[in-house]
Amino acid sequence: METLFALLIGLLIAAGVFLLLSRSLVRVVLGLSFIAYGGNLAILTVAGLREVAPPLLTLRGPYMDPLPQALILTAIVIGFATTALLLTVALRAYQVAGHADVAAFGDNLARDPHAEDDTFADPEHQGPDRPDEPEAEPVPIIVRPRSRP
């Protein structure tokens, strides 16, 4: 059983690294998820979970340490939250830049890589390094004569 898990861990990690090295944001996020699942399966395999040694104290027999299962459950919850956050960032980057190519982002997410005249993909939000400038209204200058006491 450990041999099958070792092969599956290797497959998950290899697929995760392959996806992580791609240029698409969604593939990068999926690659990180695959690597996390491979890590969780590695923890489960090292813990040696067997049917003859359950982690439940209500059953008879030799008991299994429940710590690896608790670690894996925590890692799964954190992995879901991290994946949701990264997908949200990837969606926002796609909305701002108009593409999901990691290499084309450069220093400015909002710069259109296909434009020749340094224009921006989203003129309302120019990018993180160029904050939106508030439209300044002209302030009327009122000059009052000083009153003498």
Where do the domains of the chain lie? 1-55+63-109
Q: Residue 66: how many CA atoms within 13 Å on its side-chain side?
A: 6
SS3 state at 119: coil
Domain made up of 1-55+63-109: CATH architecture: Orthogonal Bundle (1.10)
Answer for the pair 121, 46: CB distance below 8 angstroms, yes or no: no
Contacts of residue 111, defined as CB under 8 A and 6 or more positions apart, other chains included, come to 97, 118, 120, 121, 127
Contacts of residue 92, defined as CB under 8 A and 6 or more positions apart, other chains included, come to none
What does the pLDDT read at residue 113?
Answer: 57
For residue 119, count CB atoms less than 10 angstroms from its CB and return exposed for 0-12, middle for 13-18, buried for 19 or more.
Answer: exposed
What does the pLDDT read at residue 56?
Answer: 62
Tokens representing 51?
A: 């049917």
What does the pLDDT read at residue 118?
Answer: 62
With the CA atoms of 134, 111, 25 and 103 taken in that order, what torsion angle do they form, in degrees rounded to the nearest 10?
-140
Tokens representing 21?
A: 């090295």
What is the spatial distance between Cα 31 and Cα 25, in angstroms, rounded to a whole number?
A: 10
SS3 state at 36: helix
| Residue corresponding to tokens 């399966």 | 41
What does the pLDDT read at residue 82?
Answer: 93
What does the pLDDT read at residue 33?
Answer: 93
What does the pLDDT read at residue 69?
Answer: 84
What does the pLDDT read at residue 147?
Answer: 74
Q: Which residues of the chain fall below pLDDT 70? A: 49-61, 106-136, 149
Tokens representing 39?
A: 């890590």
